[in-house]
A and B are shown apart, each in its own frame.
Chain A
Amino acid sequence: ASAVMAAACGRALLVPFGGRFWACPRAPLRSLTAAAPLYDVVVSGGGMVGSAMAAALGHDIHFHDKKIALLEAGPRKEYHLPESYSNRVSSISPGSATLLSSFGAWDHVCSLRCKPFRRMQVWDACSEAIITFEKDDLDDMGYIVENDVIMSALTKQLDAVADRVEVFYGSRAVGYTWPLPSHSCDTSPWVQIELADGRRLQTKLLIGADGHNSVVRKEAEIQNIEHQYDQSAVVATLHLSEATDNNVAWQRFLPTGPIALLPLSDTASSLVWSTSHEHASELLTMDKESFVDSINTAFWSNVNHSDFTDAAGAMFRSVLSLLKPSGTAMRQLPPSVAKVDAESRAVFPLGMGHATQYVRHRVALIGDAAHRVHPLAGQGVNLGFGDIACLAHHLSAAAFNGQDLGSLKHLLRFETERQRHNVSLIAAIDLLKRLYSTSLVPLVLLRTWGLQATNALPPVKVRFFFCTR
């Protein structure tokens, strides 16, 4: 009878919070849950974003007496820095580097290896338009770091707070049971988690960091707007023809998709080439020499230029140089590639996704579970790190005020802040992807003039740059 009443009360509560509470009474009776250990926060997903979230909370002073758990399906990996570079790298923004250093992980990254870059050149294959980004004080704009290096640094910092953060390796969550709204009688108010090996956990707050196919998001029945792109990304580790300063990140928009060369060292760079599925499998299977040739041709060839767009672009540039003499730049060419590392070529499909809600009562989504973007802006993991900085800030304040960590009040504040930041950026990246996927003359003209104008107008350029921090 009390469960029925509780369910009825629950339904009445749905209206004000717009359906953030659970509609079906699925919470188990108190007696069944007595044995399962209770955690203050459980992070589901031990990738870069999940591990960083657990580490950030574990090192927070207001979480000193709290119990945190991190669930990772894979085994624990002992990392020894190999000679060759891994083909999975990320572009880490200065803001993300600040987050990582806030709990001591950035020092480990620097002591392993990372490559700072000072300039970014982005240009079109269909015209002469280019845009370059660099900081006035010639400071580091960002860092190219292998994902394995970041994971190793995070694992080290998790070990440092092992008394607070318990990492469950080889543990996949197979089921979640959601609590009823707070004022019911006999049912547990916590989230119940069932692991594949039958173990059960309870938690006051569940953070879903389990990637773009998030189980937490699906079980929470949060709607996801998603779209599979008609592109795959080819990654590889490349060796340059000759050693150079190599502190520039290069990206050229081809009609089939953007190709990017990210510096790893003075002699090596990482390739991220987004292209059609057919071309991607061709690139994967062709011999090494042809692969290297394709890359150099992609960066150097002007075959996609048309006289019309060249003339139109040149005319626009001369107009701009009248208004703003320093606003035009000459296109520089990236270093040429000599060879590709054996076994370093790989392909993965690309898509875009955005969850309509990031939070529910006692649940929050971060990283790819909440949003997935095209790699053309190098923002994927930085958005995730931005989520962590924001959520950790709100949870820390809530802990210092003695509040219930799973309360929607501060979770909604996190959601509002991050959605405000993420939605416009994700839409802009998607728009850029579509705009640059065509060689139709009017659109080429539009983006040529747009790019040239943006390059010439510092306020717009600076705003775009800071947006992607």
Chain B
Amino acid sequence: NVFSRRVRGVGFMTWLSLLRVTVQRLLSTSQPSVDPKEMRKFQLLAHKWWDEQGEYSALHSLNDIRVPFIRDTLLNVGSTYQRGSPLSGIRILDVGCGGGLLSEPLGRLGASVTGIDPLEENIRTADQHKSFDPVLAKRIQYKSGSLEEIVEESVETFDVIVASEVVEHVADLEMFIKCCSQVLKPGGSLFVTTINKTQLSYILGIVIAEKILGIVPEGTHEWEKFVPPEELQHLLEAYGFSVKAVNGMLYNPLTGSWSWMESTSINYALHAVRSEDQAQTSQTEPLSEMESEQCSVTAGTS
């Protein structure tokens, strides 16, 4: 009987740990875009977002080119312009909003912004920072969570999705893009800024930026997860997007400022539009696995 009790005890403990592991695995497969390692990296810097001269200074100055890019593209697409509020009436989803560095300028330009980030601390920082400005407090809503979690309740709700400096931290890029297309209205815009996967981006983006100059905190980026624009474009087209513009960006560490450049070999910004035709999305899905295999083959040789 002692033996049987011990066996039952062991059995119960094993069952519990098995349950824990299964639950964890289940949870992680339901959030394939969120990588726990990545989350830990950003946890340490959660309170540094709004220090314009601190670790995130390059992201602050990135606003000087990414906000005009988003604003001017949307102004060209839209028909009405309201004085003083160029983005008025537009619903934007800022995925991986961090401390709200991009959400706030978009909110000031009149948009209704929903910012999501998997890290609680980031959302807390962002909420606290916007709370002092009554106009921003009304226009911006922050939610903690991943893109997959909001897909259920937000099908075709947003006019624009912005994923700036995010896709290079995502675990499953394809799932990420699929969720974007579900959450975007037909004809809606997707803006992505990220880093290309080239030798140059390794030397400049990791060796120099992180290890030598310390522009970016060390360990922020992993070269393996960088996304070449060709691969991104392929995936987007597979999920019913049409890519309208791809522009290279360059960071000057001496002046601390960004500028546009011809070549996309380091950083780049991309604008894509979700097609109006719904049927296209379901037809291309079975092809996507084969296409992504082809993509990884070509990526390996580039």
Report if A63-B84 is in contact (Cβ < 8 Å); known contacts: A182-B51, A183-B50, A402-B107. Answer: yes
Please, how many angstroms separate the alpha-carbon atoms of A49 and B84 in the complex? Answer: 24
Please, how many angstroms separate the alpha-carbon atoms of A396 and B14 in the complex? Answer: 65
CB pair A64 B83 closer than 8 Å = yes
**Closest CB in chain B relative to A78 CB, distance in Å:** 31
Stretch at the interface among A185-193, A223-231, A324-332, A449-457: A185-193
Chain B, residue nearest A181 (CB) = B51
Please, how many angstroms separate the alpha-carbon atoms of A61 and B104 in the complex? Answer: 20
Report if A189-B132 is in contact (Cβ < 8 Å); known contacts: A16-B53, A62-B84, A66-B84. Answer: yes
Produce 1/0 per residue, A392-409, CB < 8 A to B: 000000011111100111
Q: Which residue in A16, A17, A30 is a CB contact (below 8 Å) of B132?
A: A30
Chain A, residue nearest B83 (CB) = A64
CB pair A401 B68 closer than 8 Å = yes
CB pair B84 A64 closer than 8 Å = yes
Please, how many angstroms separate the alpha-carbon atoms of A409 and B85 in the complex? Answer: 22
Chain A, residue nearest B87 (CB) = A402
CB pair A183 B132 closer than 8 Å = no
Cβ-based interface call for B52 (8 A): yes
CB pair B133 A402 closer than 8 Å = no
**Closest CB in chain B relative to A363 CB, distance in Å:** 16
CB pair A401 B64 closer than 8 Å = yes
Chain A residues with Cβ under 8 A from B84's Cβ? Answer: 61-66, 399
How many residues on the B side are at the interface (Cβ–Cβ under 8 A)?
28
Report if A183-B53 is in contact (Cβ < 8 Å); known contacts: A66-B84, A402-B67. Answer: no
CB pair B85 A64 closer than 8 Å = yes
CB pair B51 A183 closer than 8 Å = yes
Chain A residues with Cβ under 8 A from B8's Cβ? Answer: none
Cβ-based interface call for A38 (8 A): yes
Cβ-based interface call for A13 (8 A): yes
**Closest CB in chain A relative to B244 CB, distance in Å:** 22
Produce 1/0 per residue, A44-69, CB < 8 A to B: 00000000000000000111111000
Produce 1/0 per residue, B75-110, CB < 8 A to A: 000000001111000000000000000001111111
Cβ-based interface call for B63 (8 A): yes
CB pair A185 B52 closer than 8 Å = no
**Closest CB in chain A relative to B68 CB, distance in Å:** 6
CB pair A402 B51 closer than 8 Å = no
CB pair B105 A403 closer than 8 Å = yes
Chain A, residue nearest B125 (CB) = A183
**Closest CB in chain A relative to B172 CB, distance in Å:** 32
Cβ-based interface call for B48 (8 A): yes
Chain A, residue nearest B133 (CB) = A38
Cβ-based interface call for B300 (8 A): no
**Closest CB in chain B relative to A40 CB, distance in Å:** 9
Please, how many angstroms separate the alpha-carbon atoms of A400 and B63 in the complex? Answer: 12
Report if A183-B67 is in contact (Cβ < 8 Å); known contacts: A38-B134, A64-B85, A402-B105. Answer: no
Please, how many angstroms separate the alpha-carbon atoms of A218 and B86 in the complex? Answer: 38
Cβ-based interface call for B128 (8 A): yes
Please, how many angstroms separate the alpha-carbon atoms of A188 and B106 in the complex? Answer: 22
Please, how many angstroms separate the alpha-carbon atoms of A24 and B40 in the complex? Answer: 34
Chain A, residue nearest B57 (CB) = A16
Please, how many angstroms separate the alpha-carbon atoms of A40 and B249 in the complex? Answer: 32
**Closest CB in chain A relative to B167 CB, distance in Å:** 23
Interface residues of A in 407-445 (CB under 8 A from B): 407-409
Please, how many angstroms separate the alpha-carbon atoms of A32 and B277 in the complex? Answer: 54
Cβ-based interface call for B268 (8 A): no
CB pair B128 A190 closer than 8 Å = no
Produce 1/0 per residue, B108-126, CB < 8 A to A: 1110000000000000000
Interface residues of B in 47-79 (CB under 8 A from A): 47-54, 63-64, 67-68, 71
Chain A residues with Cβ under 8 A from B53's Cβ? Answer: 13, 16-17
Please, how many angstroms separate the alpha-carbon atoms of A8 and B53 in the complex? Answer: 15
Chain A residues with Cβ under 8 A from B64's Cβ? Answer: 401
Please, how many angstroms separate the alpha-carbon atoms of A13 and B51 in the complex? Answer: 9
Chain A, residue nearest B68 (CB) = A401
Q: Which residue in B48, B106, B134 is a CB contact (below 8 Å) of A402?
A: B106
Report if A402-B104 is in contact (Cβ < 8 Å); known contacts: A16-B53, A183-B48. Answer: yes
Please, how many angstroms separate the alpha-carbon atoms of A9 and B109 in the complex? Answer: 30
Please, how many angstroms separate the alpha-carbon atoms of A407 and B57 in the complex? Answer: 13
Please, how many angstroms separate the alpha-carbon atoms of A16 and B256 in the complex? Answer: 13
Please, how many angstroms separate the alpha-carbon atoms of A35 and B106 in the complex? Answer: 27
Please, how many angstroms separate the alpha-carbon atoms of A183 and B54 in the complex? Answer: 10
Chain A residues with Cβ under 8 A from B133's Cβ? Answer: 38
Chain A residues with Cβ under 8 A from B107's Cβ? Answer: 402
CB pair A402 B109 closer than 8 Å = yes
Please, how many angstroms separate the alpha-carbon atoms of A189 and B133 in the complex? Answer: 9
Please, how many angstroms separate the alpha-carbon atoms of A61 and B84 in the complex? Answer: 6
Q: Which residue in A62, A64, A400, A407 is a CB contact (below 8 Å) of B52?
A: A407
CB pair A403 B50 closer than 8 Å = no
Please, how many angstroms separate the alpha-carbon atoms of A13 and B52 in the complex? Answer: 10
Interface residues of B in 229-273 (CB under 8 A from A): none
**Closest CB in chain B relative to A29 CB, distance in Å:** 12
Please, how many angstroms separate the alpha-carbon atoms of A63 and B51 in the complex? Answer: 26
Report if A401-B48 is in contact (Cβ < 8 Å); known contacts: A13-B53, A61-B83, A62-B84. Answer: no
Please, how many angstroms separate the alpha-carbon atoms of A60 and B132 in the complex? Answer: 25
Chain A residues with Cβ under 8 A from B54's Cβ? Answer: 183
Produce 1/0 per residue, A82-110, CB < 8 A to B: 00000000000000000000000000000
CB pair A185 B128 closer than 8 Å = yes
Chain A, residue nearest B51 (CB) = A183
Report if A183-B49 is in contact (Cβ < 8 Å); known contacts: A401-B64, A401-B68. Answer: yes
CB pair A401 B134 closer than 8 Å = no
Please give the residue numbers on chain B whose beta carbons come within 8 Å of chain A beta carbons, in ascending order: 47-54, 63-64, 67-68, 71, 83-86, 104-110, 128, 132-134
Please name 7 further chain A to chain B contacts, defined as beta carbons within 8 Å, in addition to the given A64-B85, A181-B51, A183-B47, sorted by A numbering: A9-B51, A13-B51, A61-B83, A65-B110, A402-B107, A402-B109, A407-B52
Q: List 30 A-B contacts (CB under 8 A).
A: A13-B53, A17-B53, A38-B133, A61-B84, A62-B84, A63-B84, A64-B84, A65-B83, A65-B84, A65-B85, A65-B110, A183-B47, A183-B49, A183-B50, A183-B54, A185-B128, A188-B132, A190-B132, A399-B108, A401-B63, A401-B67, A401-B68, A402-B71, A402-B104, A402-B107, A402-B108, A403-B63, A403-B108, A407-B52, A408-B52
Q: Which 10 A-B pairs have the closest CB atoms?
A: A64-B84, A402-B105, A402-B108, A65-B84, A64-B83, A183-B50, A402-B109, A183-B51, A182-B50, A16-B53
